[in-house]
Amino acid sequence: MNIKEALRIYFIMGSNNCGSHEPLDVLQQAIDGGITMFQFREKGDDALTGEAKKQFARDCFRLCKQANVPFIVNDDVDLAIEIGADGVHVGQDDLDAGVVRQKLGSDKIIGVSSHTLQESKAAIEAGADYIGMGPIYATTTKLDTNPVAGTKAIQETRQHFAQFPIVAIGGLQADNFAPAIEAGADGISIISAIASAPNPKEATEKLASTMKEVINDA
């Protein structure tokens, strides 16, 4: 798998990100619209736990598998191992990427959230396959984010690591993500611009077609 290509339109979702929409329907629409990777992120208020979380993860994984969309689990390494997910994404307050690598083995994908060049270096040394950098813009989806970072940290990381896969996150939409790609990101991570869209499939198609234009121009 080419990680940079998988990061292009990286959809992240949990059951509490979908408003009145049925979460599995939102995911299927996102897949049909052209997402290139999916992160299962069951966190925050009213998140599912225990068996319900596990079942929901398996259902999401099934939809992704049918479409060959890589399936990444946020934070929960044990769940990822149990269901055979393609990888794990960890934040700065979660398990260290090196520990996750030991648990998962060499053939799985590990992503790490980073906010500074320093954190990027540490994640890369610890064996991450990609880093997620943000928040580019303000977001109301995650309440405990770092301060809005803009694109500077991406630019700095890109200058030091010319080829390392980077995905941007935070407040990204079809009409505002271009600066993140121009700064050096390979793709965009999106929650609300897909999960809260009136029509998630059309919203994804718009992100994917805009991405093609932005990458050609970059």
Q: Are 191 and 197 in contact (CB under 8 A)?
A: no
Read off the tokens for 186: 């390979």
Please enumerate in sequence order all residues whose Cβ is within 8 A of that of 68, keeping only pairs 6 or more positions apart, or say none: none
The catalytic position among 8, 101, 108, 142 is 142
CA angle 200, 91, 165 (to 5 degrees): 70
Q: Is the CB of 70 or the CB of 170 nearer to ligand 3NM? A: 170
Q: Are 114 and 148 in contact (CB under 8 A)?
A: no
Active-site residue 142, yes or no? yes
The catalytic position among 15, 113, 120, 192 is 113
Task: State how far the Cα of 10 lies from the Cα of 218, in Å rounded to an integer.
Answer: 19
Q: Is the CB of 31 or the CB of 197 nearer to ligand 3NM? A: 197
Active-site residue 192, yes or no? no
Q: Are 23 and 13 in contact (CB under 8 A)?
A: yes
The catalytic position among 8, 41, 101, 201 is 41
Q: Is the CB of 51 or the CB of 144 nearer to ligand 3NM? A: 144
Would you tell me which residues interact with ligand 3NM (CB under 6 A)? 113, 134-135, 139, 141-142, 145, 169-172, 190-193
Residue 200 Cβ vs ligand 3NM, minimum distance, rounded to whole Å? 13
Catalytic residue positions, numbered? 41, 113, 142
